[in-house]
Amino acid sequence: MHRDPVSSTRNRVLCATVAALMLCGNGPALSQSSSPTQTPALSADLPLPEALATARETLDQAWDAAPITLARALFIDGSSAGFGLFTARETAVFAAGKPLHVYLEPVAYGFQTTEGMTGYRMDVSYRLLTPGGQVLASQDGFATITGSARSRKREVSASLRFAFEGLPAGEFRLELTVTDRMDASAGTATVTLPFSVVKGG
């Protein structure tokens, strides 16, 4: 009896396991020395040079006006250690049974300020597809990118790990969708990463 290889693959891939780690790019605190004539009050923002203050205001306006976007989305070697801290894979060819690691950098996501803390929240969904568009596995909201700080945090990244059990050799596509949960008007950002699976290795 003839068996549909795509249907068989879909049934096996449904047991895929996915792990996600949100990395915000936190770094060491930087000290700032005041000029002799500048005595900052507790919890007060220090004045910026006019050109820099104008640039920050322009960035805020452009950020708020734009829809959520992915500035980076790529396969990496292992997990990311933080914002911008990753090693890009040279190829998108994976040995059967090996996990896939993906690095994301969203921009233009929304913020909400509550009790002096400015927060952000995004959900990540995925679909595993054949080249023809058939869905082998999917999950909505399988990962959340969230955090808060005293000011707008723009250096946010996510390190995602996928382990698809029973995936045979062949060509596939990993579709990732990031949905802004703080600003509905920002919408969603979607990216598709083609990859191949080979036997052995």
Q: What is the pLDDT along the chain (201 residues), one digit of tens a residue?
A: 555 555 555 444 443 444 444 444 443 333 333 444 555 555 567 899 999 999 999 999 999 999 999 999 999 999 999 999 999 999 999 999 999 999 999 999 999 999 999 999 999 999 999 999 999 999 999 999 999 999 999 999 999 999 998 899 999 999 999 999 998 887 999 999 999 999 875
- Strand 135-149 to 117-129 pairing: antiparallel
Q: CATH no. for residue 97?
A: 2.60.40.2550
99, part of any domain: yes
Q: Which of 149, 146, 61, 65 is nearest to 113 (CA)?
A: 149
Distance between alpha carbon 142 and the CA centroid of its chain, in Å?
12
Q: 122 pairs with which residues across the strands?
A: 145, 180
Helix ranges restricted to H, the chain:
5-13, 50-65
State residue 45's pLDDT score: 77
124, part of any domain: yes
Structure tokens at 83: 């914002």
Residue range(s) defining the domain that contains residue 137: 5-25+51-198
181, part of any domain: yes
44, part of any domain: no
Give the model confidence (pLDDT) of 41-65 as tens digits. 555 678 999 999 999 999 999 999 9
65, part of any domain: yes
Total Cβ atoms within 10 A of residue 52 = 10
160, part of any domain: yes
Distance CA 107, CA 180 (A): 10
Total domain count, the chain: 1
39, part of any domain: no
Distance CA 43, CA 72 (A): 34
Question: What pTM was computed for the model?
Answer: 0.79
158, part of any domain: yes
